[in-house]
Structure 1
Amino acid sequence: MNWMEKLSFYFQFPLVRYALIVGVLIALCSSLLGVTLVLKRFSFIGDGLSHVAFGAMAIAAILNIANQTLLILPVTIICAILLLRTGQNAKIKGDAAIAMLSVGALAFGYLVLNVFPTSANVSGDVCSTLFGSMSILTIRKEEVWICIILSILVIAFFVLFYHRIFDVTFDESFARSAGTKVDWYNLLIAVIIAVIIVLAMNLVGSLLISALIIFPALSAMRIFKSFRAVTICSAVISVICALLGMLVSILTGTPVGSTIVAVDVLAFLICYIIGIVGGRG
């Protein structure tokens, strides 16, 4: 069976189509907000919040909550709000706050799962959560619809408030003097990132989510300079890498999350070379 026949065979299963839809939508939303986070030097907020989501997942598991998202989502959103507020504190800068939250939540989650094991294979469960499931067939239909609805809201927010996001990204002081509610937009961006992270946990794992935010933005910045061009290019790169990563995962049986990130890294190297050749290195 060649690769075309193998893909045709797998595409007959709804779960594979669900995974592709969710992967593309998550990649698109991550890339749109990733440009803003990278430019604001706050890109590792995704890393901190993904570890919070891991800790919340551990608590949901030991409490035997059927729909773990009901606990993980609000906890991650609350931490996004607290992280933003703490990061603005003169005593605890943004990067330090993220580091504290990231390491603390990761250690707490792993500790809880070991003290109160929910299965005989704790290490396997932790590895699957951190790096994504080995199988692409882990997405439920309800998750697909939730992802579609939330993705539409994220894209609508970005399109409708594009100019405000641009102002907040490059010059918060000017935006605030112009009457823009800077704190409100920063808060909303953090909340949206929290939602994307929770949705992406099953697909790429909590440790690899930041790659979907950082790599497409950095890749696009190697080629273009304007905010609009970088954002569009980042979205295109992110979607293509997500599709290629999932297709390679289907064909080779490799972990979905790691494969997508590997393709993102390769895309960055290609864009880096293009940037050097084009005189932007």
Structure 2
Amino acid sequence: MNIIELLDYAFFRNALLGSFFASIACGIIGTYVVTKRLVFISGGITHASLGGLGIGFYFSLSPILSAMVFSIFSAFGIQWLSQKQGVREDSAIAVFWSLGMAIGIVLTFLTPGYAPNLSEYLFGNILTITRSDITALLVLSLILLLFFILFYHAIVSVSFDTEFAQTRRLPTQFIEYAMMLFIAVTIVLSIRLVGIVLLMSLITVPQMTANLFTVNYSKIISLSILLSFTGCVTGLLLSYYLNVPSGAFIIFVLIMMFFIAKAIKVVTGKTLKTAPQEIP
């Protein structure tokens, strides 16, 4: 079956649309995450979302909605503990990471009736994306684009030097909490693509690859969106023809793209010495 014939199927069209809007959201958020060195926090929020899934299963609520609420509270909790209560950031992350995983496992086990199928959330299945998922990703992408347009310079300043941003009387606390909110929402809405286990790669690898070619903040966002969507589509098609899990293969393709780009830069002798956190 060729690509044109695949487009006749609604699930494949949904997968492409979901990949496109998720790439926009992850490209924008991922650039902030990588630049501000929040990768470990993002991993903590991602795994804490399992607690929300468990709550949703146990109380017969929407798993995605409950995971989103739990992830947002976890994100704010990490921020509050590390900034206001003097707890080391890595310790705060460990607390919510472990709490979310523990609650998720216990409540999933205690859920009445048949045990919920967690594999779809742990490892992802892009072919299960629904119209409602696509709509949610579309709305998120539009909100993120608007937010970045309105607060672009403040976001860039906070990304590199929060203390300097404070001296310029920028709304640093508002930006940090708003971005933590967006990180949590983006993570939860993207779970169906690659799953909890691999999601952290979707918001870091395309940005790392983009940074090999440019150190400009806005260009990294644009290029990482392009790389992310290309990796999603390529991984989706190859996983279909090879009959392997799509989520894992999408991440595999993105990582291969990074290594190929790195090898090209090394061979051509044009590797950028500037790290992501030094983007002007």
Whether TM-score is above 0.5 comes out as yes
Paired with 1:183 and 1:207, the residues of 2 have a C-alpha distance of 30
- Per the alignment, residue 76 of structure 1 pairs with 71
How much does 1:175 deviate? 0.9
- Per the alignment, residue 51 of structure 1 pairs with 47
CA offsets 1:46-78 (integer angstroms, 9 cap, x no match): 21112222111112112222x333322222212
Q: Does 1:98 align with 2:93?
A: yes
Question: What's the C-alpha RMSD, in Å, of the aligned pairs?
Answer: 2.0
- Per the alignment, residue 223 of structure 2 pairs with 233
CA offsets 1:100-149 (integer angstroms, 9 cap, x no match): 322331233123222436525x6xx233321113xx43122122212211
Unaligned runs of 5+ in 2: 274-280
- Per the alignment, residue 131 of structure 2 pairs with 141
Given candidates 116, 120, 123, the residue that maps to 1:131 is 123
Paired with 1:221 and 1:191, the residues of 2 have a C-alpha distance of 25
| Alignment map for 1:101-116 (pairs within 5 Å) | 101-116=96-111
Given candidates 236, 244, 259, the residue that maps to 1:246 is 236
Structure 2 letter corresponding to 1:87 = S
Paired with 1:234 and 1:141, the residues of 2 have a C-alpha distance of 25
Given candidates 6, 12, 24, the residue that maps to 2:8 is 12
Structure 2 letter corresponding to 1:54 = L
Unaligned runs of 5+ in 1: none
SS at match of 1:44: helix
Structure 2 letter corresponding to 1:58 = G
How much does 1:30 deviate? 0.9
Q: Is the 8 A contact 1:46 1:209 kept in 2?
A: no
How much does 1:241 deviate? 1.0
Given candidates 15, 22, 33, the residue that maps to 2:18 is 22
Paired with 2:123 and 2:226, the residues of 1 have a C-alpha distance of 24
Structure 1 letter corresponding to 2:54 = A
Q: Does 1:211 align with 2:201?
A: yes
- Per the alignment, residue 199 of structure 1 pairs with 189
Q: Is the 8 A contact 1:52 1:106 kept in 2?
A: yes
Q: Does 1:86 align with 2:81?
A: yes
How much does 1:13 deviate? 1.5
Query: Share of identical aligned residues, percent?
Result: 27
Structure 1 letter corresponding to 2:41 = I
Q: Is the 8 A contact 1:55 1:110 kept in 2?
A: yes
Given candidates 255, 261, 269, the residue that maps to 1:271 is 261
Structure 1 letter corresponding to 2:79 = L
- Per the alignment, residue 164 of structure 1 pairs with 154
How much does 1:167 deviate? 0.7
How much does 1:266 deviate? 0.5
Q: Does 1:183 align with 2:179?
A: no
SS at match of 2:38: coil
Q: Is the 8 A contact 2:52 2:69 kept in 1?
A: no
SS at match of 1:137: helix
What is the TM-score of this pair, normalised by structure 1?
0.88
Paired with 1:142 and 1:221, the residues of 2 have a C-alpha distance of 33
When residues 118 and 99 of structure 1 are mapped into structure 2, their CA distance, relative to the original with a 3 A threshold, is farther
Q: Considering Cα pairs closer than 8 Å and 6+ residues apart, tell me whether 1 or 2 has the greater RCO.
A: 1
Q: Is the 8 A contact 2:48 2:98 kept in 1?
A: no
CA offsets 1:147-180 (integer angstroms, 9 cap, x no match): 2112111122122321111111111111111111
What is the TM-score of this pair, normalised by structure 2?
0.89
CA offsets 1:191-229 (integer angstroms, 9 cap, x no match): 111111111112211111111111111112223223233
Structure 1 letter corresponding to 2:80 = R
Paired with 1:247 and 1:155, the residues of 2 have a C-alpha distance of 28
SS at match of 1:206: helix
